[in-house]
Structure formats: C-alpha cells, structure tokens
C-alpha cells in the first residue's frame, strides 16, 4: 500500500490558526485502519488543546476527535472493519482485553493510552508528514484531516443510514453528555439534577435526564441565550449565575430551591470554581457531582472535606462512560428510531477550508455544534 495525500488543518503551534495544507498519510500498519474522514464536529476540547491549556497538548499536530467517515484501507490483522465500512472514530478505544476493559468498571481502555497521549501510533511513530516533518496525532483520532490512521480498536462500524454528518457527533459531545446522565450517573426517575454549562455536552445531559424521567432539570449558564436551548431539550428551570438573588452563593441558592440540594450535578464548563459549586449544590447524604469539563494545566479542585464526609460524592467520566465499540451502534439505532436527538445540535456547517471559523463561532456562544464537511 502507498501513502495517500489529502488536505489537513495542521496546528503548527498553540494559539495559532490551523493551516490547511497537503499532508502525506502513510498506509496503515498491522492493527491500524486508514479512514477517509467525511465529517467532523469541533468540540470545546479541540479549542482547549489549541489554546495551549492542555498539559498533553503537543505540536505540530492534527487536532479533531469527533469524526466519522469510511474505511479506506486496513493493515494486517484487522478483523473488526473492512474497506467501505462507515465508522466513527473513538478517542476512548475499546480493546476488550486489557485490565480496564476486563474490569467491567470503566470505559477507559488502557491498551494504547500512553502512545495516544504522546501523539503517536501504538508503535511510537506518526503516519502524518507535511513540509518534510512528522506531524503528531491527537487523541488517537486527528479528524481534521481528509485521511487519518487509527488503531483498529479506535473505530466502530455503524450503519450509514444515520449519515456521517450526524454520526460524527456521536464521536464525542452527544455521547459524552447523554452517557454521563444515563450510564455514569444513572439518573433515576423523579431526580433533581443541575447542569452547569449548556453547550453540546450539557444539552446532551439534559436529553439523557429527560430519558431517565428526572423531574427537575436545572440548567445553568452565564449566557442567557442558552435558556431557550436548555428548555427546548427539556430543562425545567434556567439560572444565570450572575443573577442569583440576594447576593447568595449559587450553591446556597440551589440548595434552597431544591429542599436540600440536587441528587445529581454535572460540570460541563471545565472551570474549577464551578466544579466546587456543583459539588456543594448536591444533597447531603447522597448527592453526586460528575466532572466532565476539562480544566487547564495547573488547575485544581478544592472543597471542605466535610462536604464528602456528609455523603456527597465527587467523580467524573470521559466519553460518558460509554464503551464505543459495544454501545455506539445502539445509540445510532436510538437516533434512527427517533429516541435520540442529533440533528438538533447542528447549528452550523462549514467546508474544511473554513474550519478555523468554527473556533470563532464557539467563542461567540451561538454555536452548539459546527459540522465540517471534509
Ligand atoms: P461549549 O463551549 O459548547 O459549552 C460550554 C458552556 O459552558 C457554554 O455555554 C458556556 O457559556 C458555559 N459556561 C462557561 N463558563 C461558565 C460558568 N462559569 N458558569 C456557567 N456556564 C459557563 O463546550 P462543550 O463542547 O459542550 O464542552 C463542555 C466541556 O466538556 C468542555 O470543558 C469540554 O472540553 C469538555 N468535554 C469533556 C468530555 C469528557 O469526556 N470528559 C467530552 C467532551 C467535552
Ligand atoms: N489531556 C488532558 C485531559 C483532557 C481530557 O480529560 N480528555 C477527556 C476527553 S475530552 C473530549 O472532548 C478524556 O478522554 N479523558 C480521559 C483520558 O484518558 O484522556 C490532560 O489534563 O492531560
Ligand atoms: Zn470532545
Ligand atoms: Zn482495553
């Protein structure tokens, strides 16, 4: 097999716009898959890494981790997909064999995590070259490229009846929020929940909580424009933290209006002060706060240990606790059966040539998800 050349949006350095250029993409080695990316979403985490805040951020690299496309070729020993299959890229792979996968306790497969975090394939090398230099991979996906190479355990084949412009969003934001509510927190019927940050992830938590029949879903965002979004997805209340009455702390206000606190709270902002508020807004004795937002290098969370002594639980999850190869096909079925909203998240569409504009849209606050046509 030969290298192929396609366009990719390269992040040469943190804080710089991506540069669209030709990239040489080497053929897949054993247990690797070369994928023609057809659509990619742009997640807040791409912006976070490009901003330089990610301790694992390394450059030059090809970002993007919310992508779907078609298998172009496979290396030796690949049995789970074949050329022509429609696939979703998985930044949380699933090998089924490692200690993590066998534990039944987590979706955090450990098989390739070390090399993935260093921006290389499992054999320690990159498949991308541009301007005579090796370019790093990102989150095992690099979907801001027309062609990318992934480990075979980092792809799942799904029916294309959904369309790759929709299935790409199941590669991160929608699955992350929905999974956090349904599979990680396991929100129960009648629960009171609070969601901090009404982006794609927060709206997906709301969608999951509606499915679990939560009775109060309190959405919280600094942007008043998010109220109508939250209510459209099923939130019962909306709070702008800057408008909390009588100079109360937001956590005190939430405890007041919920007869002692929330059953579940979710941070989808990546702000460590918000994470504390979310924990302290939980009900004494049983409330659980789930951290989803990613915080900048050097940031740490604090609270009084008494908050935990008195029965609140503080935890987090990645990719909603979802095992991609096992569970994503059924989420696609849910979409096809009308039980999972996906189309509603797409506020913008751009061609690859305008991918940088997706980051500007994210900052403006009116964009839930921008789908990029590769
Ligand atoms: P987004 O930018 O679309 O949404 C974030 C929302 O939070 C915005 O509406 C913003 O106005 C709001 N916000 C920011 N600061 C706030 C504050 N102090 N109080 C209240 N609201 C505030 O982002 P997204 O794509 O939905 O991602 C949300 C977070 O989750 C990001 O940190 C992202 O990196 C992270 N993320 C984590 C995972 C995971 O697996 N753990 C997966 C996807 C995204
Ligand atoms: N690299 C960062 C952490 C970034 C992070 O937490 N990533 C999430 C996915 S965000 C998707 O939008 C994740 O999967 N975490 C688990 C993992 O194994 O990376 C840092 O702080 O070093
Ligand atoms: Zn993401
Ligand atoms: Zn594994």
Q: Which ipTM value was assigned to this complex? A: 0.99
275 and 251 Cβ atoms separated by less than 8 Å: no
How many Å lie between the centroid of ligand 4 and the Cα of residue 318? 14
Of all protein residues, the one whose alpha carbon is nearest to atom 3 of ligand 1 is 199
Of all protein residues, the one whose alpha carbon is nearest to atom 9 of ligand 2 is 318
Are both 141 and 195 inside the same structural domain? Answer: no
160 inside domain? yes
198 inside domain? yes
Mutate to test the pocket of ligand 2, among 55, 91, 298, 369 (most ligand atoms within 8 A of CB): 91
For 189-222, what is each residue's pLDDT tens digit? 999 999 999 999 999 999 999 999 999 999 999 9
How many Å lie between the centroid of ligand 2 and the Cα of residue 271? 15
Are both 189 and 298 inside the same structural domain? Answer: yes
Are both 347 and 250 inside the same structural domain? Answer: no
How many folded domains does the chain comprise?
A: 2
Are both 52 and 116 inside the same structural domain? Answer: yes
For 314-356, what is each residue's pLDDT tens digit? 999 999 999 999 999 999 999 999 999 999 999 999 999 999 9
For 126-175, what is each residue's pLDDT tens digit? 999 999 999 999 999 999 999 999 999 999 999 999 999 999 999 999 99
Ligand having the closest approach to the CA of 100? 4
- CATH code, domain carrying 78: 3.90.180.10
Q: Helix, strand, or coil here: 261?
A: coil
113 inside domain? yes
Are both 9 and 146 inside the same structural domain? Answer: yes
Q: What is the atom index within ligand 1 of the atom nearest the CA of 223? A: 11
Are both 28 and 114 inside the same structural domain? Answer: yes
- CATH code, domain carrying 268: 3.40.50.720
Are both 139 and 181 inside the same structural domain? Answer: no
Domain containing 184 equals: 177-317
Are both 145 and 201 inside the same structural domain? Answer: no
Are both 232 and 198 inside the same structural domain? Answer: yes
Catalytic residues: 43-45, 65-66, 95, 98, 101, 109, 113, 172, 369
118 inside domain? yes
Q: Considering the entire predicted model, what is its pTM?
A: 0.98
Are both 134 and 235 inside the same structural domain? Answer: no
With b for 16 or more beta-carbon neighbours within 10 A and e for fewer, the 54-89 pattern comes to: beebbbbbbbbbbbbbbbbbbbeebebbeeebbbbb
For 60-70, what is each residue's pLDDT tens digit? 999 999 999 99
Of all protein residues, the one whose alpha carbon is nearest to atom 1 of ligand 1 is 199
Does any ligand 2 atom lie closer than 6 A to the CB of residue 54?
yes
Are both 79 and 228 inside the same structural domain? Answer: no
Ligand having the closest approach to the CA of 93? 4
Ligand having the closest approach to the CA of 65? 3
Q: 């938590």: which residue's tokens? A: 205
DSSP string, 312-373: -EEEE-SGGG--HHHHHHHHHHHHHTT-S--GGGEEEEEEGGGHHHHHHHHHHT--SEEEEE
The fraction of the chain above a pLDDT of 70, given in percent, is 100
How many Å lie between the centroid of ligand 2 and the Cα of residue 55? 10
Are both 164 and 224 inside the same structural domain? Answer: no
155 inside domain? yes
How many Å lie between the centroid of ligand 3 and the Cα of residue 294? 10
Give me the chain's average pLDDT, please. 98
- Closest by alpha carbon to 217, among 200, 199, 196, 241? 196
Please state whether the peptide bond connecting residue 372 to the residue before it is cis, i.e. omega within 30 degrees of 0: no
Does any ligand 1 atom lie closer than 6 A to the CB of residue 169?
no
Task: Tokens for 338, please give them.
Answer: 């009308």
324 inside domain? no
261 inside domain? yes
How many Å lie between the centroid of ligand 2 and the Cα of residue 370? 21
């Amino acid at each position: 097999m030969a290298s192929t050349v396609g366009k990719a949006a390269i992040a040469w350095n943190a804080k710089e716009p991506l540069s669209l250029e030709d990239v040489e993409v080497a053929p897949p080695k054993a247990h690797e898959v070369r994928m023609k990316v057809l659509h990619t979403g742009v997640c807040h985490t791409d912006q976070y890494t490009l901003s330089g805040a990610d301790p694992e951020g390394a450059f030059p690299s090809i970002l993007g981790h919310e992508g779907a496309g078609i298998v172009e070729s496979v290396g030796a020993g690949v049995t789970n997909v074949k050329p022509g299959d429609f696939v979703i890229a998985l930044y949380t792979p699933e090998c089924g064999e490692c200690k993590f996968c066998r534990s039944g306790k987590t979706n955090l497969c450990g098989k390739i995590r070390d090399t993935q975090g260093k921006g290389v394939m499992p054999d320690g090398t990159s498949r991308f070259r541009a301007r005579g230099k090796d370019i790093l991979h990102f989150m095992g996906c690099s979907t801001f490229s027309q062609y990318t190479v992934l480990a075979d355990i980092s792809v799942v084949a799904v029916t294309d009846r959904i369309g790759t412009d929709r299935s790409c969003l199941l590669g991160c934001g929608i699955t992350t929020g929905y999974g956090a509510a349904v599979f990680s927190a396991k929100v129960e019927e009648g629960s009171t929940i609070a969601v901090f940050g009404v982006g794609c992830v927060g709206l997906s938590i709301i969608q999951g909580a509606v499915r679990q029949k939560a009775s109060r879903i309190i959405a919280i965002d600094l942007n008043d424009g998010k109220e109508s979004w939250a209510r459209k997805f099923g939130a019962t209340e909306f709070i702008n933290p800057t408008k909390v009455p009588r100079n109360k702390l937001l956590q005190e206000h939430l405890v007041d209006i919920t007869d002692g606190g929330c059953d579940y709270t979710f941070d989808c902002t990546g702000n460590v002060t918000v994470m504390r508020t979310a924990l302290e807004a939980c009900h004494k004795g049983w409330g659980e706060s789930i951290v989803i937002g990613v915080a900048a290098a050097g940031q740490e969370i604090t609270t009084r240990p008494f908050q935990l002594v008195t029965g609140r639980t503080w935890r987090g999850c990645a990719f909603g606790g979802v095992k991609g190869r096992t569970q994503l096909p059924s989420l696609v079925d849910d979409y096809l059966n009308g039980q999972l909203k996906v189309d509603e998240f797409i506020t913008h569409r751009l061609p690859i040539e305008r991918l940088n504009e997706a980051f500007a849209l994210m900052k403006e606050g009116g964009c839930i998800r921008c789908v990029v046509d590769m």
